Each structure stands twice: as structure tokens, then as C-alpha cells.
Structure 1
Amino acid sequence: MNAIPLTPADPSAVLTIARAWAGTPYLHQSSVQGVGCDCLGLARGIWRALHGDEPWEVPPYSRDWGEAGRREVLAEAARAALIEISLDAAGPGTLILFHMAPGVPAKHCGLLGESVMRPSLIHAYDRSGVVEEAFTPTWSRRASFAFQFPSAPTEVI
């Protein structure tokens, strides 16, 4: 089977979609713009705005950033539908996955934004909802995986 190379979506379109979610309250396992979402819900909402229905149902997942285990479930799911790139190649509109503690799987994600002076991060988290804030060295140190949304949906088998 020959894989068809994917073309990344327009970063400005991805950022416009992500920024439209600003102010959406945090709600674990939700993905409804203006009503509630978590970090994965934001990424799911961007997918739906670009491509329509998601290619699979998201199974229940815990809020625990310190969850034990070596399997990178979030990264594996992203690889099934998005375009993985190196962290060095990440730019505006790139979905970044974060390890929130050493030795645990990546459990948080957000979009690299852009600002006049420095990069930003658009993400959802408890007590803040969807916000855009500075992509600080603290976030940069935790960045573990980088993915671009494709311009056309992938076929998930």
C-alpha cells in the first residue's frame, strides 16, 4: 500500500479556528465551542472545523497529568490522523503535546500561536478554559511531540 503524502493545513486558518474558541470554559472530555472543552476537545474542534466529523470516537480518559505508564496514547492517536514533524520544525498552527512530569505520558496539548515579539500557546486547562498565553520556557521544556493538521482528512484504518 502506497501512502499519499499529506499537505499541512494553512497555519493561519488553524489559528483562526483555535482563536475562535477563546473564552470557552474548561470541561473535561467535552468539545463544544463556547460551552466547554479540555485541551483535546480544542484539538478535536479544530479538526471538525477543517474536515467535518472526527474519524473515530474518543474513548474516556483521565484528567490525571501524572498518570503512570509508558504508552504514549495521545501521540499514537495524533499519528493516526495528523502529520508528525520535529519540534524544531514547529511553527504557528502546530499542535504540541506536552509531558507534564518526568516519566509519564504526554497528557496535554495546545497550538503554537504567533505574536509580534514571541510565540504563544493556545490551549485549554482547568480554571482558565481556552486561553492564549506566552509560550514560556516552562512550556517549551515540556514540549514532546509536534503535529500539523492535514489540509485534507486522512483515512484511518
Structure 2
Amino acid sequence: MSADRVIASARSWLGTPYHDQASLRGVGCDCLGLARGVWRDVIGDEPFPMPPYSRDWGETGAHEVIAESARGVMPEVLPAEAGPGDMLVFRMMPRAISKHIGILTRDGTFVHAYERLGVIEEAMSESWRRRIAFAFLFQKNEETEGLQP
């Protein structure tokens, strides 16, 4: 998948208002909804229905639900190897599960949906960089295609 195509799709969501568990460009989305919308734009139908989820960044648990689900459909890379167009999963609080998603651009920035701000593009600061827990190539994982997490 072309990084430029992924980035262009992500940027086409800029200005979309924040709306928990939504995924409709220009109307509303959360960070996962943004990633789902970019998937639909550049890859096609979503691989499985999205179950309800909590937006609590402090949630703890034994399972990295977002990362485990992403592994079922996207190739994982080390966060240090993430490049333009890749999806990043952030751990927002120590000891919490990772629950925030953004898409890396070529300009030292990333696109993400943030409560009260909607979809924005901002600098990949050291503070954000430290929170990256997982990274995935924005393409189908051919080895696991058809499997549901």
C-alpha cells in the first residue's frame, strides 16, 4: 500500500469532529474510527465488525485489545521502524493498555482524533514518541487474512 495514499486519506479526515465510536468523515470519529475510515478508503471493507469499546485511557487489563486485533489484519513492525503511512498505537498512561491510534506522515507529524479537537495533525513530539507501544503497516496481513481476532 502506498504511504502517500494512506497519508492523503488520513489528511482528508482533518477537521472531522470527535465522536466516540463513530467513523464518518466530516461528521464524526474517534481515533479508531479514523483508522477504520482510512482502511475503508485505501484497502476496502472492514475485516470484521467493531465491538463496543471503552475510551478510558487509564483502563488496565491483561489484553492489548487494539494491538491484538490489529495483528490479525495488519503486519506489525517495531515502533522504531515505523514510517510514513504506518499506524501507531499509543499507551497514554503508565500500566494502562494502549488505546490511542494515529497515522504517521512524512513531515514529522501524525494524524489522529482527539477529544474536544477532532481530527488534527500535530508534531510527533518526544512526549508522543515515548507513548508509542505498537506500530503496524497500513496494509492487509496476507498471512492472517480472513481471520477474526
Match of 1:87 among 79, 94, 97: 79
Say whether residues 1:155 and 2:133 are aligned partners. Answer: no
1:151 Cα deviation from its structure 2 partner:
6.1
1:135 to 121, 124, 141: 124
**2-side partners of 1:89 and 1:112: how far apart?**
12
Equivalent pairs: percent with the same residue? 51
Matched, 1:42 2:34: yes
Q: Gaps (5+ residues) in structure 1?
A: 1-8
Provide the C-alpha distance between the structure 2 equivalents of 1:93 and 1:135, rounded to a whole number of angstroms. Answer: 14
Q: CA RMSD in A?
A: 1.3
**Counterpart position of 2:2:** 10
Structure with max Cα Rg: 1
Give the structure 1 partner of residue 99 of structure 2. 107
TM-score normalised to structure 1 length: 0.89
| TM-score normalised by structure 2 residue count | 0.94
The one of 52, 62, 82 equivalent to 2:44 is 52
Greater shift in the superposed pair: 133-142 or 47-56? 47-56
Residue 111 of structure 2 aligns to a residue in which SS? strand
Give the 3-state SS of the residue equivalent to 1:81 in structure 2: coil
Q: 1:22 to 1:72 in 2, by over 3 A?
A: same
Partner of 2:52: helix, strand, or coil?
Answer: coil
Alignment length (residue pairs) = 146
